[in-house]
């Protein structure tokens, strides 16, 4: 295998990351990685447990002289968010990632990188492969389907764990130590649509160029949601020049702020609609933040055939009403922690099922307060019911409450200060972490979440700072070697 990362230490860490990147491992497709991990453990005579979900637990015995110390759990997930640019040809179920290094940052060409959470996998494998000379007994837990609802962590048998100290390796900022997170739920909404034969000309509209990002960590940054932006544009256009909606599709992951959305309308006012869209594009662009400055609309006109269909006028109005009215973005800020998002929603996916004549949407709700998640569920149920639709709520996961006293946190603070010469910031985040599920099963688990610097996760702009990976490794060595 030809590697692209050179000159960074420990070399083994980066080799394992590239080996992982060569294996397709999107959420729900982690079996090949589990095979790889099992083979890795077998070659080194390490105790390994693989469950029916493809979660893998590998145990490393304590080094000589440290057998009496409490065991340490390291944990991360093997799946990645599979996002790509529309013009990128890549099959995430078959193709490995095409990695490249630019100015010290690792990225994948036209796709997500999988640094979230491939760096955890590579880190644990390096430790299991003798990367740290002196250590207590270490348990490395590789979970699956984290990105689609923390499913692997939710189904793991925690009676297998001996450790009650835990370092979660799913953080994307070296200078931040996470000590708490939000809970959440996924909601699938299905709305019936009625279509009729329609020979009117077609206008295709595409929202493109938005920044996107993680629907938890970036939700407070004011980045536009392509699905919501398309709804606004269509509603405004419909008020000026009535049309029939043919289709609308945007986003592919509920936990990623959608960057692109495509809609097709049927209209007898083609030129007027194009002129309106050109003017409204400027209106919207003037409101967007710097990160969304590449926003633009792309339009194309085509003729209809005798067999083409479109939504009737009532279905068009209902779909525009739903997409425009479903709340998205920050819903509430914390009263107790300045600057912390307490409650949010992300309209992550909109798609059409033409065979069943339904519009399908997926919404991610996050909150540190369980009652707010319950309220979101009830609101979405009510909104869908008004339009004759159905909802399905699943993949609910608990939050992780901040604890005033934490021995593992204090030790990491010391290790960080020793390596970096300054203090790490301790914070609570709005995104979900598997720590919440693990703490729910093992309340006495003392946990932190840490990691190197990454940017643009859950988008094709994802990249990882290689120098920060070196520093992160040094901090972990200091933490574990004591």
b/e burial code for range 442-461 (CB count within 10 A of at least 16 → b): beebbbbbbbbbbbbbbbbb
Least trusted range by pLDDT, from 117-121, 135-139, 181-185, 472-476: 181-185
Residues in CB range of 405: below 8 A, 6 or more apart: none
pLDDT at 199 > cutoff 80: yes
Catalytic residue among 30, 116, 146, 292: 146
What length does the chain have? 482
The span from the CA of 456 to the CA of 223, in Å, is: 12
Is 185-397 a CATH 3.30.70.360 domain? yes
Catalytic residue among 19, 30, 79, 139: 79
pLDDT at residue 338 in the model: 87
Q: Please say whether the dihedral angle defined by the alpha carbons of residues 48, 39, 81 and 466, taken in this order, is positive or negative.
A: positive
Looking at residues 337-360, what average pLDDT do you find? 93
* Beta carbons of 415 and 376 less than 8 angstroms apart: no
* Beta carbons of 74 and 124 less than 8 angstroms apart: yes
Tell me which DSSP letter residue 131 carries. Answer: I
Is 11-181+399-481 a CATH 3.40.630.10 domain? yes
* Beta carbons of 147 and 77 less than 8 angstroms apart: yes
Structure tokens of 382? 């009510």
pLDDT above 70 as % of the chain:
100
The span from the CA of 139 to the CA of 382, in Å, is: 45
Average model confidence (pLDDT) for the chain?
A: 96
More confident residue, 326 or 214: 326
What residue spans define the domains of the chain? 11-181+399-481, 185-397
Can 173 be counted among the known catalytic residues?
no
What's the predicted TM-score (pTM) here? 0.78
pLDDT at 383 > cutoff 90: yes
Can 11 be counted among the known catalytic residues?
no
pLDDT at 239 > cutoff 90: yes
């Amino acid at each position: 295998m030809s590697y692209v990362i050179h000159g960074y230490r420990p070399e083994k860490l980066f080799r394992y990351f590239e080996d992982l990147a060569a294996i397709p491992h999107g959420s729900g497709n982690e079996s090949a990685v589990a095979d790889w991990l099992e083979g890795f453990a077998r070659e080194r005579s390490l105790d390994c447990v693989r469950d029916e979900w493809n979660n893998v637990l590998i145990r490393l015995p304590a080094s000589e002289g440290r057998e009496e110390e409490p065991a340490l759990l390291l944990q991360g997930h093997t799946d990645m968010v599979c996002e790509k640019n529309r013009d990128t040809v890549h099959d995430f179920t078959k193709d490995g990632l095409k990695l490249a290094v630019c100015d010290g940052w690792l990225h994948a060409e036209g796709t997500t990188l999988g640094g979230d959470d491939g760096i955890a996998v590579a880190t644990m494998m390096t430790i299991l492969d003798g990367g740290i000379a002196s250590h207590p007994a270490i348990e490395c837990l590789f979970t699956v389907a984290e990105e689609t609802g923390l499913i692997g962590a939710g189904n793991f048998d925690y009676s297998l764990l001996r450790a009650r100290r835990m370092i979660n390796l799913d953080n994307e900022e070296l200078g931040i130590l996470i000590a708490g997170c939000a809970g959440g739920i996924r909601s699938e909404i299905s709305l019936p649509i009625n279509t009729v034969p329609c020979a009117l000309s077609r206008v295709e509209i595409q929202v493109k160029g938005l920044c996107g990002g993680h629907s938890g960590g970036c939700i407070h940054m004011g980045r536009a949601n392509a699905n919501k932006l398309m709804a606004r544009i269509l509603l405004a256009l419909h008020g000026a020049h009535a049309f029939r909606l043919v289709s609308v599709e945007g986003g592919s992951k509920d936990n990623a702020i959608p960057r692109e959305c495509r809609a097709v309308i049927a209209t007898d006012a083609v030129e007027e609609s194009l002129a309106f869209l050109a003017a409204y594009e400027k209106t919207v662009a003037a409101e967007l933040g710097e990160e969304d400055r590449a926003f633009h609309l792309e339009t194309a006109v085509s003729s209809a055939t005798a067999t083409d269909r479109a939504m009737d006028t009532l279905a068009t109005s209902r779909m525009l009403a739903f997409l425009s009215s479903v709340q998205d973005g920050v819903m509430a800020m914390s009263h107790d922690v300045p600057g912390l998002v307490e409650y949010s929603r992300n309209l992550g996916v909109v798609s059409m099922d033409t065979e069943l004549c339904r519009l399908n949407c997926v919404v991610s709700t996050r909150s540190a307060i369980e009652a707010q998640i319950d309220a979101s569920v009830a609101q979405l149920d009510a909104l869908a019911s008004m339009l004759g639709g159905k909802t399905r709520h699943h993949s609910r996961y608990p939050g992780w409450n901040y604890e005033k006293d934490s021995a593992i946190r204090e030790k990491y603070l010391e290790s960080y200060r020793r390596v970096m010469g300054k203090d790490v910031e301790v914070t609570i985040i709005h995104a979900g972490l598997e720590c919440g599920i693990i703490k729910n099963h093992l309340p006495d688990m003392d946990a932190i979440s840490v990691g190197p610097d990454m940017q643009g996760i859950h988008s094709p702009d994802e990249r990882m700072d290689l120098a920060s990976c070196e520093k992160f490794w040094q901090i972990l060595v200091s933490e574990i070697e004591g």
